[in-house]
Structure 1
Amino acid sequence: MASADLKKGLDCSICLNIYTDPVTLRCGHSFCRLCIERVLNSQEVSGRYSCPECREEFEEQPRLQKNIALHNIVENLLGAQPEEEETRVFCTYCVDDSIPAVKSCLLCEASLCDKHLKVHSKSPEHVLCDPTTSLGNRKCSVHKKLLEYYCTEDSACICASCSAGEHQGHQVETVAEASEKRKTKLGDFMTEVIKEKQEAEKTVQSLQEHRRKVKEDAAGVTKKVTTIFRDLRRRLDTLERRVLGDISWQSEGVSHTCDFDIQQLEMKVEELSRKIHQIEELCNMTDPLTVLQESDTGDLCDTEEGHFEDIQLHGRGNLDVAGISHILYTGLSAIMRGLNGEMYIPKPESLSLNVKTANSYLHISDDKKIASISPLNHQKLISEKIGPCPEVFSCQAFSSGQHYWEVDVGGSDDWRVGMCYPKNTGVFYFDRESWYLRRSGKEYRVIEQGERKLPHSVSASRIRIYLDYEAGVISFYELEIPIRHLHTFTAKFTHPLHGVLYVGKGRLQIFEEVQRM
């Protein structure tokens, strides 16, 4: 009972079996090494690691420490487990005691201990083997004779009577010979399996190295991008203060001018009000002599109209929006130039189509940007099963650097876009040495020495093809909001690459002006 309780306490909480190569996390909980590695690898996508037992979180993937004490306890417990009685073979003739057998006789169908083996018959028909409880399986079920032969035609072990009977005329070998041949085949197969295992381990090692490198690259790029954004925020804040300061300065200038003019006009209004009051008093007088003697018509009727008009014109000052826009544009341009220096932005390409490489069923526009196929030619392609693909290639070729170009695919539901090698003859590869994205009806596939279906459809009508020649990368993007990555090919490029369009229906158009990444 104590042993059972101890064994129960040695179960891994993930696989619920006894620990295998137990390791411990920083929180103190132990697991099988393989079990916890699988859990941590699954958490790697989110970047948040935690203990499956207590849910304690770790900032980075925790280091696994071998639990030596627990490992020794498990080994001692398993080593102390008694063998199950039914799996042990005992001497047939030792009826009073359970004495382990050392050999079994196939003829006698009995197992023998050392003592009974010494007095056992040494004649050839008494065939000895390792101790076994399945002695009956070593004799023919029909003739009750030893299975001494192997029929290669029926792949069956047979006795001498079977060989002379129903298996007569068949290719027959002794069991030993057949066993050796089988071992040879198994050895050859094992060699292949070992080789395959080594290749798999090599691939695993390469993937682990690639994963490590990608993580290092991601960390470096993350640090660089973080620095760039921090610098951008600083520069934008400086530019914002400068532009807002200029707006405030202009606004204050106009405001001061308006305040002065308002003050002058208010004084004018007050003076005019006084004159209106005087005129009203004179108009209300009944004595003509008083009106004529106490009033100076010239002073009362002088309104100084010219000065008032000057104030009105002067009060029309506005913000210099054009000047503010110039400051903003100049500042943003300077920031972008600085950004280009800190992180390389690929050059956008506006490709043109090479009419000489166009299939005769295709029509190329005068500006060499549009490839289209008429409905009539499309029907011919289907009915006549035309061999050559209706494709066309770009005039430009790329043998270095980073570039991207964009295609409008909204005018067709049967197309391929990508890049390929040219031959020395001027004819282009379109199979093993081409990389492209394909649409056929509602299906989207990527093709490189075979086709593979994309897990999702493409909703946008604009596709971007990105090339990094030195890195051996061709990537496809869907230009929706936000831009979505579709697929990336990796290869070692050995020849210049041309853009390629395949038009099975409708039209494709290369954009004259591409959108900056």
Structure 2
Amino acid sequence: MASADLRDELLCSICLSTSTDPVMLRCGHNFCRVCIDRVLDTQDESGVYSCPEYRERFQERPALMRNIALRNIMENILITPPTQTETGICCTYCVDSPVPAVRSCLHCEASLCEKHLRAHSKSPEHVLSDPSTSLEKRKCSVHKKILEYYCTEDAACICVYCSAGEHRGHRVEMLDEASEKKKKLRNVLQKLITNRLETSERVQCLEAQRRKAQEKAAGEAERVTALCTDIRRRVDNLEKKVLSEISRQEKEESLSLSALIHQLEIKDELSRKMRHIEELCNMTDPLTVLQEPDTGDLCDPEEEGGDEDTGGHDKQLHDGDDLDVAVISHTLHTLCEVITGISRGIYVEDPADTLLDVNTAGNNLLISDDLKTATWTERDQNRPETAERFQCNHVMSRRGFTSGRHYWDVEGSRSGGWIVGMCYPSIDRRVRMFYPSIGRRGQSLIGDNNKSWSLWRCYGHYFVIHDNKEIRLPDKISSDRFRICLDYEAGQLSFYELCDPIRHLHTFTAAFFEPLHAVLYVYGGSIKILGGKQ
């Protein structure tokens, strides 16, 4: 058996297999006849021939001399190798079975596997590329030379002859350099794609905001339309009521005056008596006057009460001079209240029907029978402990709001301290440490967590609190009555002082995501919900 070194000497440097029908060039290098013929055929087009192994050049196509000695050695010690096969982009020199090529050698016009690639990668003339079934695409269509350059002016791939011919003087680059630029362009393209995606997402976000704004505008337009419709209805009803009142008073006055006129017309007998007396006074004969049968009655007009009737008539006429404008003004005052509410942005048709839920009340709170008043007491009410009951002096409303605009009014006592506001039903209802004397609070008080908003009266001072952040209000608050206004969709909860005129104190802004319930806290005093149904 031949040694490993001898086997290496018998390999063709082109196909890296044992040489088949070995031939030798003038430079002494041996190749398979088929392999070297293929290489020389590719060099025919350029007219320049070279040895594939050490690049010795020949002016003419070299004659192939059969190496009889090498062939005899192969026949004596080696088995005749199989024939070559070529399928698709498989390795040109793998003969047992098609093997996927990892690179293509443009110089040799061959597809190569990793094994046969080693010898071709040693020479700079062997230009390698990704495997391809059509290597002709990598050659110049005019000169049939490898495309090695890129003309930036014509944006074309060219060969060495093109660069010296029609592209002479043009700015050209090596394909490798152009490829690097292509990588940069790919990076730029990727960034642009990323920017486009971000822009697209931003556009979608803006589109969503625009749709939301349009929906909100449509909702506001609908709300304003409904508001104006309700105002017009109220004004129409008010107009009808005032006109009806004026008509009623006018009818009463007319009937009264008609009655007086009728009474005066009945007493028109006075005119007849006056004419008769005038006739008697004009008579010259005393006997005729004395013989008149009614002269006794005519001589005493006071007996018929003429003076009294005249005085009564004058009094009634004086009383009927004017309409009762006080009643009309009081009716019109309703319109002023509606307009005032609209100008302050707190207009809703009616106050919310707010009732306290005894099942949530702490055991030191007395809840009135009408479920409107909570009063602090030292006496424990011994209510059963449940998950929904507050363990401190809180009580929550039965009703929760999940949409719309609502308001409710309260009146707090001047003694003690109290808190009024709104909260989520998921608020923590367990006891937390609270020392009113030193102003320390815990997370159980409404306003001291992110699930409640409150107005707090403590030692004559007022605060608004949310998430344990308090804002002190001016000390000039004089009224004991306050209004709490909720606009759920707008995410606004506002507090007002019910003075004349009504005064805005503070507005919380938040994105509400649970039902909102009215909630009270009382210590040493009481607080009452005003209005609504009992």
Larger-gyration structure (1/2): 2
Q: TM-score surpassing 0.5?
A: no
- The interval holding the TM-score normalised by the smaller chain is 0.3 to 0.5
Structure with the larger helix share:
1
Q: TM-score, normalised by structure 1?
A: 0.40
User: TM-score by structure 2 length?
Assistant: 0.39
